[in-house]
Amino acid sequence: MGKVEAITIGPGCEVTMNFNLRLRDGTIADASEPGEPLIFTMGDGSLIQGLELALFGLKVGEQQTLEIAPHDAFGFVDETNIHLLPREEFDPSLPLEPGIILGFSTPNGTEVPGTIMDVEGDSVKVDFNHPLAGMPVIFSVEILAIKPGNTGTSD
């Protein structure tokens, strides 16, 4: 009789996927580990919106690779997120070299990454923009499983 329509990714779906996020030069920025796919719910904030949008409508077994522009990926560099901090606020044993990414605690207790840009005398220039801000990224996915939102059924 009639063929059952395959589930497609939409809002609230639980998605299991392998993924790879790389830069144009081939540098891998993030990826799922072999045998350890990413499992998340669409809309839960696990992925940035631009990456989620790339998944809408995909089905189990489908693969997709596409380039995502900075405004849909990690945004653009915001100069107000670059700060000079006193060198004395850093552990003396830390290697403060340009390109090093350190975790910083905000006043509300969350941790944010900061990239050391330069050490100028008693000051350290730190960029608190996302390390991929301003860069297009290439997002490759393989959809392994989809569970519809709130129904408890699976593929």
Does 84 have pLDDT greater than 90?
yes
Q: What is the pLDDT of residue 50?
A: 87
Look at the block and give the residue holding tokens 């350290």: 124
Q: How many domains does the chain have?
A: 2
Residues 41 and 92 in one domain: no
DSSP string covering 103-121: EEE-TTS-EEEEEEEEEET
Query: Picking from 30-39, 71-80, 92-101, which range would have the lowest pLDDT averaged per residue?
Result: 92-101
Question: Is the residue at 47 inside a domain?
Answer: yes
Residues 31 and 59 in one domain: yes
Question: Is the residue at 63 inside a domain?
Answer: yes
Question: What CATH number did the domain enclosing 51 receive?
Answer: 3.10.50.40
Question: Is the residue at 2 inside a domain?
Answer: no
Question: Is the residue at 6 inside a domain?
Answer: no
pTM of the model: 0.75
pLDDT digits (tens, 9 = 90+) for 106-152: 888 889 889 999 998 899 999 999 989 999 999 999 999 999 986 44
Q: What is the pLDDT of residue 152?
A: 45
Distance CA 52, CA 130 (A): 18
Question: What CATH number did the domain enclosing 110 receive?
Answer: 2.40.10.330
Characterise 42 by phi-psi region: left (phi > 0), alpha (psi -120 to 50), beta (else): beta
Residues 53 and 94 in one domain: no
Question: Is the residue at 9 inside a domain?
Answer: no
Residues 83 and 70 in one domain: no
Residues 69 and 89 in one domain: no
Residues 33 and 46 in one domain: yes
